[in-house]
Structure 1
Amino acid sequence: MLDSLGIGYSTLLWVVIASLGLLKLWRTLSDWGFAQRNGCGEVTKMPSYIFGLDILWDFIKATNNNYAIDLVEDWQRKFGRTFQLRLGRKLILTSEPKNFQAILATQFEDFDLGSRNDAAHPMLGDGIFASDGKIWEQSRALLRPNFVRNQIADIAVYEHHVSQLVKCMPVDGSTVDLQDLFYKMTIDSATEFLFGRSFNTLGGRESEASKSFAKNWHIASNGMIIRMRLGPLRWLSNLNRSYTKAIAAVRSFVRDVVQEALEHKELQESNQDEKPPSQSYVFLHELATRTQDEKVLTDQLLNILLAGRDTTAAFLSFTFFLLSRREDVWSKLRAEVLNFDKRPSFEDLKSMKYLTWVMNETLRLYPLIPLNVRMANKRTVLPTGGGSCGTLPIFISKGQEVMYCAYSAHRLPEVYGQDASEFRPERWENLKPGWAYIPFNGGPRICIGQQFALTEASYTIVRILQEFESIESRDSEPFKELIGLTLSMKNGAKVALTPVQT
């Protein structure tokens, strides 16, 4: 056919190549014009070799050896607060609060989660933390009513598990790793709140099914982290049989819980004349009044469990890690706490000013998500980071990933003072950091369970300070990061506690 028209295959190939080249040239010129019209400046480029594989190797090595944040901080000292690098793929890294505001709020519609959705999908499905657009909007609308104040303010939800926690703390002055205990407590409280039945890891009544779920959850979560780091090569994770089996087991466990809840709902509806026994609030039961779709319920429960368990446990661990090294802050906080009842109410917790400062300062120094990524779904502009002074807007092409670093922004001297790296809760007396402080992200995607997490954490802190007179650090080593789904401590929070003398 081509020969009859006098066109050879080689000619056609050159026509295709030329057309693609012209299309690329047109896009390049169009993007250049867009950048010029918006006054954009050049972004500093971090030198690299072999498509950035050298930088990627350095980052992987740093992550495996627990100094990835230090490496990023070192890069920023060398190349500025906003620069371009390659981590196997081209990235813009920024710690500018103005850029945070643009990405998370004022230009929210210009950015998606990008590759994170695909990386997290095997475990989290189409849940709120692994979706964009209409699916995300539907998820948020579905979940938001479950975090109303009357659920968050129900102190009885926390008391049982905090009491179990206190019982597990040694009173003879021996060393305890509070991080380990906090992770057990939050899985117990999260499963009771979400499923209506606690795993009871602290109480020593954990079932074999719960133990198996916890093991598979750990494997699946680590596998999801690896998928996120692999980027375009994430399909390689499917070759790991232990990961794929763990994913299947985790989703099967939660799906069974969902089926039981739906059967329970049907039974209640068929016996409407009988008055149901009074029971505590269960997230799943409430959610099942809005949808009976098993997959939707399974996806959302896994997403909320992921956020509710790890973040609160890490936050509490950092808090007591810091308190154990600052006797003056411990004493001042305990003096405030002892002014309130043994079982403080939600209103009591909110009125504890110094407690709020301590929690804010902990989240400032150790944000639970120190690094995060968004991908531009259209060509757009970020407000700062370009030009020789780094103050001009910068052009962001469609498909460009932007990594924003809360850890660095939370330590900016011009916002927090020259002692920004120090733990000083008093700085919060008059501090208004704006977008330089994003412990729970910001904008439309701000953490939906923020108040629940803060209330559980504050109640736990207060109850521990009521039960123990003093705390002593049993770890002389400086903070050593462990970056998983959230930031935690490689060495844990090893302390000794002195109980109140009765």
Structure 2
Amino acid sequence: MALISPLETVRGSIALYTGAVFLLVYFLTSIHRRWSRYRFAKAHGCGPIPAIPTYDPFMALDRLYFNIKTAKQRKILETNVARFVELGNTVRAQRITTPMILTREPENVKTILSLKFNDYSMGDRLQIFGRLLGHGIFTSDGEDWTRSRHMIRPNFVKEQVAHLEIFEELMEDLFALIPADGSTVDLQDLFFGFTIDSATEFLFGHNVHSLKKRRSQVVDNEPDFPAAFNYSLDNIVMNSRFGPLQFLNRDPKAVEANRICHQMVEQFVDKAMRVREKYDEEKATGETEESRRYVFLNGLAQQTGNRTRIRDELMNVLLAGRDTTASLLSNMFFMLAKHPKVWAKLQEELATLEGRAPTYEQLRNLKYLKYCMNESLRLHPVVPVNSRTAIKDTVIPVGGGPDGRSPVFVPKGTIVAYSVWAMHRREDFYGPDAEEFRPERWETLRPGWEYLPFNGGPRICVGQQYALTEAAYVTTRLAQRYSVIESRDAGPWEEKLTLTLCSHNGTKVSLRH
């Protein structure tokens, strides 16, 4: 029998003592944290909120399974509304091990995005989005985000946005791809091509001509960027549902899709590097045609020579420039095709242009067109769900207590998700027909934070006027060209939810002169 040496005995005692001290410190720290939070919540008059039922109190894996199943049925947004109706407008949940609060209260959203902006961060967005988007305006916080926003803002001043020639040049390609015989066309597919062409021209100074390539029916061996981009976005959403378990969502196809997306953007990175090399020379020789109009790519190249940083920023702005406007147009035309009276009324307003391409000021004065876009963004908000993560113990103003009017305590580390989709469907704000597409409601509506199509606060969408201008221009030119639009989709609108929201079945219509 081996004898235990005195030295080993001492080491064992030290280890045991250290472990006991650690457990004691952990226990006392937890007790102190709980007590401090209790006092904080009580001092602010916070009340409890209802919880989404779960059979798994530890990791809520049943909720993860339910959410994945509901998403496959294309009913996750609809289910969220039903849950708010049943439980209340602010509820408690859990994403694996992370506590969550879900809300559709405008006052809470205003507090998160504006009044207490510094109490929140983007949380784990970089970990979830980073494989595709890297460090950019949508994934960054603090100084990195400030720098990104500072670089992109000059691209969206009025003088830039008012240059409608970019859109008009693309209309010929769009018209050519719409069947002249009135047969079925998927406008959603065309809109996504249109917006990637316009975004690359507007932001990068180089049009990728996706519509023109389709029009010429040129077959090339280049990877399918739109399909890869869409697949990458689907995978990001799946990772967000898995949260800290996202390592279980291993998808080689997503890795390849990310590679294809990065490869496509590399052509713009190369251009940026050439711009950087020539910057001093161009500065010395005077202003060029390219430098008279601010181009985000050029501004970015002057800021940094880091290829990865340039690529990441380009991926971020390309997502915004392509997806938001295309989704708005797709959703709106789906509804316009289902509502011929709305289409006729819109055409009546646009007849005042006498077939001429509108100017920027004329677009801004087309009230019914604006009502149609507002109603589309209300009924089908382009970004229907968003979230922030508390970086300190804080409070949101309503949702707690028996009547839901007391403040709610938000512990540090809690994800606060806000559903714009569900908020836009509240009958107390929009009436008993809140689920219906009725542009006329905007004749009298003057909403505040209960209408949030482009986010709010310091991180409000910097490109919203560009998106609205592009959508208004394309709608106007299509309505001027085609007097009749008919839906070729017998079913209702169904959600296709990635980072943005569009129609699962596309926008299948017939257009005739």
TM-score by length of 1: 0.93
Amino acid at match of 1:336: E
**How far did 1:338 drift?**
1.4
Which residue among 53, 60, 66 is the counterpart of 1:58? 66
Please state whether the residue corresponding to 1:324 is helix, strand or coil: helix
Per the alignment, residue 4 of structure 2 pairs with none
Whether 2:309 is the aligned partner of 1:296: answer yes
**How far did 1:48 drift?**
0.7
Moved more, 190-199 or 446-455: 190-199
Whether 2:399 is the aligned partner of 1:385: answer yes
Spell out, residue by residue over 1:421-450, the C-alpha distance to the aligned partner (whole angstroms, 9 max, x if none).
Answer: 111111112211100001000000001111
Whether 2:148 is the aligned partner of 1:139: answer yes
Whether 2:121 is the aligned partner of 1:122: answer no
Per the alignment, residue 352 of structure 2 pairs with 339
Spell out, residue by residue over 1:356-394, the C-alpha distance to the aligned partner (whole angstroms, 9 max, x if none).
Answer: 111111100011111111110000000000001111000
**How far did 1:235 drift?**
2.8
Please state whether the residue corresponding to 1:173 is helix, strand or coil: coil
Distance 2:287 2:39 in 1: 67
Distance 2:8 2:162 in 1: 75
Moved more, 468-477 or 224-233: 224-233
Please state whether the residue corresponding to 2:484 is helix, strand or coil: strand
Distance 2:279 2:193 in 1: 32
Whether 2:368 is the aligned partner of 1:354: answer yes
**How far did 1:455 drift?**
0.6
**How far did 1:275 drift?**
7.1
**How far did 1:3 drift?**
5.1
How do 1:33-432 residues align onto structure 2 when only pairs under 5 Å count? Answer: 33-50=39-56, 51-88=59-96, 89-204=98-213, 208=220, 211-237=223-249, 239-267=250-278, 269-270=280-281, 278=289, 281=293, 282-340=295-353, 342-432=356-446
Moved more, 202-211 or 40-49: 202-211
**How far did 1:11 drift?**
4.3
**How far did 1:218 drift?**
3.3
Superposed CA RMSD: 2.2
For the Cα contact (< 8 Å) 1:53–1:86, is it kept in 2? no
Mark the CA change 1:19 to 1:482 in structure 2 (over 3 Å): closer, same or farther. Answer: same
Please state whether the residue corresponding to 2:474 is helix, strand or coil: helix
Distance 2:219 2:122 in 1: 36
Distance 2:511 2:161 in 1: 29
Amino acid at match of 2:341: D
Please state whether the residue corresponding to 2:353 is helix, strand or coil: coil
For the Cα contact (< 8 Å) 1:56–1:86, is it kept in 2? no
TM-score by length of 2: 0.92
**How far did 1:288 drift?**
2.7
Distance 2:338 2:443 in 1: 22
For the Cα contact (< 8 Å) 1:110–1:376, is it kept in 2? yes
Aligned residues: 498
Seq. identity, %: 40
Distance 2:236 2:153 in 1: 25
Distance 1:162 1:106 in 2: 42
Moved more, 124-133 or 6-15: 6-15
Distance 1:468 1:17 in 2: 74
**How far did 1:251 drift?**
2.5
Distance 2:34 2:484 in 1: 63
Please state whether the residue corresponding to 2:54 is helix, strand or coil: coil
